[in-house]
Structure 1
Amino acid sequence: MSTQPPLAVVTGAGKRLGLAITRTLLENNWEILALVRHPSVALNALAATGQPVHIIQQDIADPAVWFELWPSLRARCGRLPQALVHAASLFEHDTAATSSWAAIEAHRRINYDSFVAAASAWLQCADAAQRGAFVALVDQKVQRLNPDHYAYTLSKLNLAASIPFLAQALAPQLRVNGVAPGLTLPSGGQTDADFHTAQAAFPLGAGLAPNDIASAVLFLLQQRWITGQLLTVDGGQHLQSDCDVIRRTPTPS
């Protein structure tokens, strides 16, 4: 039996949830290929500790790169990575009234197309006996729709809908799952105060953190009989109506 640690590619590994996932996998004895367009200071510092994290600069805005990237990684590592966590995401504010086709396409190519291309290309590169697991970060808002972030939401809806189909099409070699995070870090220009107020309105209360999302990703990578699932980790945020949020939000004293 091989004594090598399991090997995973993490896209968007340099910041926010991608960085938290990278750290959690390292703590659980995974070797990481951190796929980023530009390395962050935090990711460079993590690599400098001597842990098994290897930074690979790659722009995945062109999803077709995966058909060359998997064979390249296999040659570089002497084996094909058995897992991918797609944490890279384009997140820009727009509405149906302000969006453009360029914005819709840009969000789709990174948030959705890249994951589908990576899965298809992995299967074509893998030996018949190899088994793998892919996890995509989606968003709890696909289960509690609102019309903001128009292009982003369309891309995440496509991603969520593709997971059960990919799980069917790529079985038994590749398991495909998703994690739908709730609000875990300030985003979209939120102040810290706005962030904490929003989390306090969750049915389960405040406290949801990046490590909680990372733990869910690790769970799905390790559970070899789970596929085609979207695991929502959001403190119950997707269960709220706008009225619930208003009622739960503390009023200023």
Structure 2
Amino acid sequence: MVSRADLEEAESRVAVVTGAGRGIGLALTRQLLIRGLTVHATCRHPDQAADLKKLIAATGRGSVLALDVADATSVRAAAAILDRSATAVDLLINNAGIGAPAGLHPSTAEGPLAALRADAIAEVIRVNSIGPAIVTQAVAPMLSRARPRARVVNVTSDLGSLTTPVMAGGYAYAMSKAALNMLTRKLAVELRPQHATVIALHPGSVRTRLGGSSAQLSPADAAHGMLNVLDRITMDDTGRAFTYDGRLLPW
């Protein structure tokens, strides 16, 4: 049974989750709230995130913020609001991501080679790789105030690994996640002096809009596994990549 002291400690911790309007981000937000954390959940269109707003309203802990990770102005505006709401951020989960840009045929980002378009590839990388960089940059001052330590999680994919078998297609997504893995390693080095642990975390094959209806895991199962991994990591793990069930993910 969770003690009152444990609940009070959890309620003093603050999490920020990007891409929280649906799928894995929504499931992570729900489970973090159940654990007692205050959650500032972000999405591009809060007016379309009815389930997310109900979650936050039911607990009264946190907020729903408009944030487009691919728009630096939007990131700065959300960070300014967050800085007024939270003295420190204990956990940042860079979850927002896309497989292909809206309004373009998926093949322009996924392939085959003949169908690829530079603007489609660039947009996926802008959201999945550059977005987490500028979000972490904006939140870094609040992470530095976390005690005893902050944690940053970049939601990656085994498709971004250079070691695991490579499948045809999925060009832009795989490229963006490989770049995100390098961002994880770079952030781990820079944020180590402020005792922040930075990891990449693969949620598995999840039944979301991106993962498809035939995927192995529900968002709730993936989120549960991911948070269990977070419970176990230490500073010795900073810069590493893990799967949702706790295995090391090869780069």
Same fold (TM over 0.5): yes
How many residue pairs match? The answer is: 224
Amino acid aligned to 1:141: L
Match of 1:89 among 97, 109, 113: 97
CA distance in 1, matches of 2:144, 2:210: 42
Match of 1:213 in 2: 222
Match of 1:202 in 2: none
Match of 1:232 among 243, 246, 249: 243
Residues 40 and 63 in structure 2, CA contact (< 8 A), matched pair in contact too: yes
Match of 1:137 among 155, 163, 184: 155
Q: Is the deviation greater in 103-112 or in 138-147?
A: 138-147
Return 5+ residue gaps in structure 2 as ranges. Answer: 1-7, 101-105
Say yes or no: does 1:184 pair with 2:206.
yes
Match of 2:64 in 1: 55
Match of 2:51 in 1: 42
Say yes or no: does 1:33 pair with 2:40.
yes
In the superposition, relative to structure 1, how do residues 51 and 121 fare at CA in structure 2: closer, same or farther (>3 Å)?
closer
SS in 2 for 1:32: strand
CA distance in 2, matches of 1:56, 1:158: 26
Give 1:60-209 correspondences, 5 Å limit: 60-63=69-72, 65-67=74-76, 69-77=78-86, 79-92=87-100, 93=106, 94-95=110-111, 96-124=113-141, 127=144, 131-142=149-160, 143-173=164-194, 174-185=196-207, 187=209, 190=212, 192=213, 195=214, 199=216, 208-209=217-218
CA shift, 1:217, in A, is: 3.2
Say yes or no: does 1:8 pair with 2:7.
no
CA distance in 2, matches of 1:181, 1:217: 7
CA shift, 1:189, in A, is: 8.8
Residues 179 and 213 in structure 1, CA contact (< 8 A), matched pair in contact too: no
Amino acid aligned to 2:167: N
CA distance in 1, matches of 2:28, 2:136: 19
In the superposition, relative to structure 1, how do residues 125 and 17 fare at CA in structure 2: closer, same or farther (>3 Å)?
closer
CA shift, 1:62, in A, is: 1.6
CA distance in 2, matches of 1:153, 1:116: 17
SS in 1 for 2:220: helix
Amino acid aligned to 1:108: I
Q: Which structure's CA Rg is the greater one?
A: 1
CA distance in 1, matches of 2:210, 2:139: 33
CA distance in 1, matches of 2:146, 2:57: 35
CA distance in 1, matches of 2:224, 2:193: 24
Residues 12 and 89 in structure 1, CA contact (< 8 A), matched pair in contact too: yes
Residues 134 and 176 in structure 1, CA contact (< 8 A), matched pair in contact too: yes
In the superposition, relative to structure 1, how do residues 42 and 144 fare at CA in structure 2: closer, same or farther (>3 Å)?
farther
CA distance in 1, matches of 2:189, 2:65: 30
CA shift, 1:123, in A, is: 3.1
CA RMSD of superposed structures (Å): 3.0
CA shift, 1:235, in A, is: 11
Return 5+ residue gaps in structure 1 as ranges. Answer: 200-207, 240-253
Task: Calculate percent identity across the aligned residue pairs.
Answer: 29
CA shift, 1:83, in A, is: 1.6
- Higher normalized contact order (CA 8 Å, seq sep 6+, divided by chain length): 1
CA distance in 2, matches of 1:108, 1:116: 11
CA offset digits 1:152-210 (Å, max 9, x no partner): 221111112221222112213221111112212055695x5xx1xx64xxxxxxxx332
